[in-house]
Structure 1
Amino acid sequence: MDAYDSDQPLFCDDTGEALNEAARKLVLSALAEDKRAEVEGDGKTLGAVLSSIPVVDCAIGTWKYVQVQLTHPDEPDTFVLVVRSYNHCSYHAENYQELMRRLRRDAKTKGCVGRVIGGGRIRFDKGAGVCEVYGYSKTFGRTPGCNEKTADIIRKACPEFKKVSWSDSGY
């Protein structure tokens, strides 16, 4: 059973602290997986597995988001940074868990390893072509440069957006 399937509160809304063993395991998994690659990129071409993963998958509206570095054992020394926000996830760690659950269910992406780089909040409005990235994750802490990098990822993946902005302010 994953933490997301639990009826118990997972995280403190004020501090972001994990409240039970399932939540602690989820955070450790999100942070400690694969740390081989540097976050800024290595300039290598992605293989078939990593290039098949959408870089941005964000729910319409305002939600918590995570930026995750994905690697795959069949594509050594390469990685892709992805941005995820799901409207049914109340916590940053749950967004990570949902991403990994979806990757494991797909035969092509099964075996991917994810590591949370950071997170915050995102207002994603595809209809208006506007995206705002701001705040931070209480669970994963403040990650300098994460919101700016996330905005860059969205600009590249969604060139139809008229305005993509970022700030480290707010929660």
Structure 2
Amino acid sequence: MAAALQSVNDVEIDPSGIFKYVLIRVSQDDDSGAVKDIVRGWASAEYHADIYDQVSASIEKLGLHCECQGGGRINHNSAKKKITVYGYSMGFGRADHEITTAILKSRYPDYSVTWTNEGY
């Protein structure tokens, strides 16, 4: 992977709470085929699109391309070391929570990370 793609953090979420998140596929604007899925979420975002708009602007400044793969919600309980991924985005649809969970598990290996398609 190119340095720009490697420089993008896999996960940037709030340290605790319940908040919206988006799953974003980042790729190089060339024929290399290099891609990376990232998770972004924070409570300050009123809409999933607010998260995507902010993240996509910073990623595109690196010369990379991004595409939202969907969204949902994250319940991050740092005290109990537990993360639950669930729900969907009205604008982007449901993210593949299995992919999101795998990314979160690599960032939080000592956490219990689970997902469900229930809830909004």
TM-score using structure 2 length? 0.88
Deviations 1:7-60 (A, max 9, x none): xxxxxxxxxxxxxxxxxxxxxxxxxxxxxxxxxxxxxxx221111111010112
Deviations 1:135-159 (A, max 9, x none): 111111235xx11111111001221
Q: Tell me the SS of whatever aligns to 2:51.
A: helix
Q: Residues of 2 paired with 1:142 and 1:89: CA distance?
A: 17
Question: Cα offset for 1:75?
Answer: 7.3
Q: Residues of 2 paired with 1:50 and 1:126: CA distance?
A: 28
Which structure ranks higher in relative contact order (CA pairs < 8 Å, sequence separation ≥ 6)?
A: 2
Q: What does residue range 88-103 of structure 1 map to in structure 2 within 5 Å?
A: 88-103=44-59
Matched, 1:167 2:116: yes
Q: Tell me the SS of whatever aligns to 2:56.
A: helix
RMSD: 1.7
Aligned length: 119
Question: Cα offset for 1:92?
Answer: 0.8
Q: Residues of 1 paired with 2:108 and 2:31: CA distance?
A: 25
Unpaired runs of at least 5, structure 2: none
Correspondent of 1:132 among 77, 80, 84: 84
Unpaired runs of at least 5, structure 1: 1-45
Q: Residues of 1 paired with 2:49 and 2:98: CA distance?
A: 20
Aligned partner of 2:6 in structure 1 is 51
Deviations 1:107-144 (A, max 9, x none): xxx2221101111000123343211000111111235x
Q: Residues of 1 paired with 2:60 and 2:27: CA distance?
A: 13
Question: Cα offset for 1:74?
Answer: 5.5
Correspondent of 2:26 among 36, 61, 70: 70
Question: Cα offset for 1:104?
Answer: 4.6
Q: What does residue range 114-129 of structure 1 map to in structure 2 within 5 Å?
A: 114-129=66-81
TM-score using structure 1 length? 0.64
Q: Residues of 2 paired with 1:57 and 1:96: CA distance?
A: 12
Please say which structure displays the higher CA radius of gyration. 1
Letter in 1 for 2:78: K
Question: Cα offset for 1:170?
Answer: 0.3
Aligned partner of 2:101 in structure 1 is 151
- Which 4+ stretches in 1 moved above 4 angstroms? none
Counting strand residues as a fraction of each chain, which structure ranks higher? 2
Aligned-residue sequence identity (percent) comes to 31
Q: Residues of 1 paired with 2:92 and 2:114: CA distance?
A: 22
